[in-house]
């Protein structure tokens, strides 16, 4: 059998651990198996590029960040669009899947990657997905690999920023990745004892934010830490379409609400207010031991599914078990923070504000 592996979308910690586990499991349990890497995610599949993965390529990469296969973003909405009156990207991928002689393709990626994987399945390709994203927003799995490392990085960053904030009696807004889902900001914010957490699922009020911070100072606090998801929205914006919010923010010269909010806080409260955007720091670097183990378990399980001929699925975590979901059932769905869920209620119970 011939197996292909690609990593698509944004990189994160744990991708190389998955690649390694897939390769090790297949080569240990099937003689004469051929494994190829497809570079640059779906971009490489569209171009028909691949190369053999040798043991020396993957044996010692479990602790390496990023992806040895490289990655790229291929917008899902463009997959079925004809280019220059020729075949669509989806058609080209299916053609190249056949030309490569693949018996199975492993797709390591997030929500967009899973949607495209489901399309490939519908066209007759044997695909097995693996849930990768620091956003932890893939439907049907308790956790995604890469998330835990990002939580630790963001938590450490907030801890470090806190010391500077305390030294200067400042209010600090730390922007954390998460456009649709606030899991990363929520977990890191709680772990780093933030005073306030702002996430996409809970639109916030500027008045409530400023009133809370003023009350904290009146109670004797000399500094405040606000963890802000990049996708956090003002209550006044919540009814807008994404394109409308983007237009309003572009008019202000901003892509997110963080800087705008910091300016308002400074003006209304009189407290020195600063922002810090963690950015790609959260995606890069050495994976945590947890992510190495989780990614390895998911990779080994996906390889086991492939050898058993179980295709059209994606590996998932349920409690302490590794299991799978049908791609057709989870593609296009997101796992979002429940505004009334246990973890949000816990945070509120210890005094963390969500700006409402």
Catalytic residue list: 135
Burial class of residue 309 (count of CB atoms within 10 Å of its CB; 0-12, 13-18, 19+): exposed
Tokens of 26: 């297949």
Helices (H), 252-354: 258-269, 289-307, 327-330, 342-349
Range 240-271 burial, b when 16+ CB lie within 10 A, else e: eeeeebeebbeeeeeebbbbbbbebbbebbeb
**Residues 208, 211, 215, 217, Cα dihedral to 10°:** 110
Contacts of 331 (CB under 8 A, 6+ apart): 114, 115, 117, 118
CA distance 280 to 285: 10
Other Cβ atoms closer than 10 A to 159: 14
């Amino acid at each position: 059998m011939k197996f292909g592996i690609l990593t698509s979308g944004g990189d994160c910690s744990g991708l190389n651990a998955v690649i390694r586990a897939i390769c090790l499991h297949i080569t240990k349990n099937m003689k004469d198996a051929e494994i190829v890497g497809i570079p640059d995610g779906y971009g490489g599949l569209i171009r028909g590029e691949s190369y053999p993965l040798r043991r020396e390529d993957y044996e010692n990469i479990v602790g390496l960040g990023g992806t040895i296969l490289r990655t790229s973003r291929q917008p899902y909405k463009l997959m079925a669009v004809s280019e220059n009156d020729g075949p669509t990207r989806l058609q080209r991928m299916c053609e190249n899947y056949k030309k490569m002689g693949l018996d199975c393709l492993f797709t390591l990626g997030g929500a967009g990657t899973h949607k495209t994987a489901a399309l490939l399945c519908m066209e007759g390709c044997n695909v097995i997905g693996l849930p990768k994203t620091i956003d932890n927003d893939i439907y049907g799995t308790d956790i995604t690999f890469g998330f835990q490392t990002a939580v630790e990085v963001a938590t450490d960053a907030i801890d470090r920023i806190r010391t500077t904030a305390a030294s200067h009696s400042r209010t600090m807004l730390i922007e954390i990745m998460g456009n649709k889902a606030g899991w990363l900001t929520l977990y890191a914010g709680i772990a780093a004892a933030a005073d306030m957490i702002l996430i996409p699922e809970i639109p916030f009020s500027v008045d409530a934010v400023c009133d809370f911070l003023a009350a904290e100072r009146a109670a004797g606090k000399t500094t405040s830490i606000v963890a802000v998801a990049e996708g956090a929205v003002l209550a006044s914006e919540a009814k807008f379409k994404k394109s409308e919010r983007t237009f309003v923010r572009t008019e202000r010269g901003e892509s997110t609400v963080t800087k705008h909010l910091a300016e308002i806080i400074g003006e209304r409260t009189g407290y020195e207010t600063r922002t810090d955007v963690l950015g790609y720091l959260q995606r890069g670097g050495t994976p945590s031991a947890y992510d190495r183990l989780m990614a390895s378990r998911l990779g080994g399980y996906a390889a086991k599914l492939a050898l058993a001929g179980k295709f059209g699925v994606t590996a998932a975590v349920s409690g302490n078990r590794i299991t799978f979901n049908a791609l057709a059932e989870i593609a296009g769905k997101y796992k979002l923070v429940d505004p009334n869920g246990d973890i949000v209620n816990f945070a509120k119970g210890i005094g963390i504000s969500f700006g409402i």
